[in-house]
Amino acid sequence: MRYFRAPSCALRAALFVCLIASVLVATDRTTQAQSELRRTAIVKAVDGARWSVVNIHGQKLLPIDQSVPNQGSRAVNGMGTGVLIDQRGYLLTNFHVVDGVKRIQVTKADGQTTVAKLIARDRATDLAIIKIPQDDELHIAPLGTSSDLMVGETVIAMGNAYGYNHSVTRGIISALHRDVPISETQQYFDLIQTDAGINPGNSGGPLLNIEGKMIGLNVAVRVGAQNIGFAIPVDQALEVAAEMIREHQQSSNSYHGVVSELRVVDGQHQCHIVQVESDSPAQHAGLRAGDVITAVGERTIRHPLDLELAMMGQRPGEELAITTARSDSAEPIKLVMGTTPASGKWSDVAYQTWQVAGLRLMPLAGDLLPRGAQRYRGGLKVTEVRPGSPAERENIQEGDILVGMHVWETVSLENVGYVLKQPEFDNNRPVKCFIVREDRTHFAYLPLRTR
């Protein structure tokens, strides 16, 4: 009979340590597997976008009773959300979030609070751009497109709901192309409807797809209803943001003369030039309508917003290298920034339209017109009406679309310039204008000469 010695104490201890180590390794592997299972597509989407979302808060004064004049005002704490669109600190939000707020306080995802400055606003579309100090830690929102949205697809809303910072809700796209009246003076067009929880304070925050890309900007809820919220499609919001920045740049006496629009080709954003203004830096540089701008300097351009942000802050006389996808242009085009056309030059169609009629206009492609007006090839969106002007007296409003004057269509500012040159229209014989508002065409009569 053979006998085996029992393991020594040292050997038993070593075996025990090996057993514990194998258990710990197996437990760690199980924990890792569980963690990966828990990191769903929604979790990853939120992780990728949350650092580009900020919370906005501040006080504004509201009338005690709007139905009774001269009843004084009361201070109300406002709240909302914003999305970073540029490393220099530019944010996109809703205008109603910052309207009337003297001190716009912004809290970033890391908890730091700073004060923002209102840069530009478009009351008709309820959008605004604000700016916080530049910071190397700022993260830009991942942008998607609203051109291929599907009813039923998963979406995620982020924002400052009821003051709860960076709240996240999820849902689906319930419907597309919703027109939503808010009041007698405010109406939204072509909105995304979602059942993701959108609450007071969510306004200006992103609506994300399952890839974590922003496909809308949350804007409104249906009062008294459950699970009915709305967002501005991201393509529409960014087009307006680009125009706001362009106008802000021109007001700072810096000018390039490119009018561009977003086109989505094979799911990719492209910045197409639709107009090169006469006698502008862009025209002198050799840019043409139809060019696709792909870069300004080392900055990649995929959207008109990218283009305007690249031009933002450039001073007259500074040279920029513009790269286009034009087949006969292998080398970058050199564009020298100019000064905004002198306000006294009647050759400036935009200025003359502002001075005579009181309108500031922005080109709008036919596929962006309200559904009831898509029989027109395009139009000029009213972005501002001068107080006391003929346009205001004719009740033309921000957001209206000028689609024709007399017997001519108005797809571009050049069309307006042609009408302005016609000698038959004066204060005694104003021109008949065709205005689209809320899917209906209205008429207005504007003089084209000063007395």
By annotation, the residues acting in catalysis are 96, 126, 203
Q: Report the distance separating Cα 336 and Cα 284, nearest Å.
A: 9
- Three-state secondary structure call for residue 128: strand
In the block, tokens 């925050």 appear at: 205
| Nearest C-alpha neighbor of 134 from the set 81, 90, 164, 172 | 90
Token pair, residue 214, equals 């922003």
**CB-CB contact of 260 with 274 (8 Å):** yes
Q: Report the distance separating Cα 315 and Cα 339, nearest Å.
A: 8
Bridging pattern class, strands 292-296 and 127-131: unpaired
User: What is the CB neighbour count within 10 angstroms for residue 338?
Assistant: 18
Q: Report the distance separating Cα 312 and Cα 254, nearest Å.
A: 9
Token pair, residue 295, equals 């870069």
Give the DSSP per-residue string, 53-93: EEEEEEEEEEES-TTSTT--EEEEEEEEEEEE-STTSEEEE
CA distances from 214 to 52, 178, 186 (A): 11, 19, 24
Enter the DSSP assignment of 339.
P
> Residues 6 or more apart from 208 whose CB is under 8 A from it?
45, 46, 49, 144, 155, 156, 157, 158, 214, 215
- Give the chain's radius of gyration (CA, Å): 28
Q: What angle do CA 446, 450, 451 make, to 5 degrees?
A: 115
Taking the chain, what is the end-to-end CA distance rounded to the nearest angstrom? Answer: 129
Q: Report the distance separating Cα 386 and Cα 353, nearest Å.
A: 11
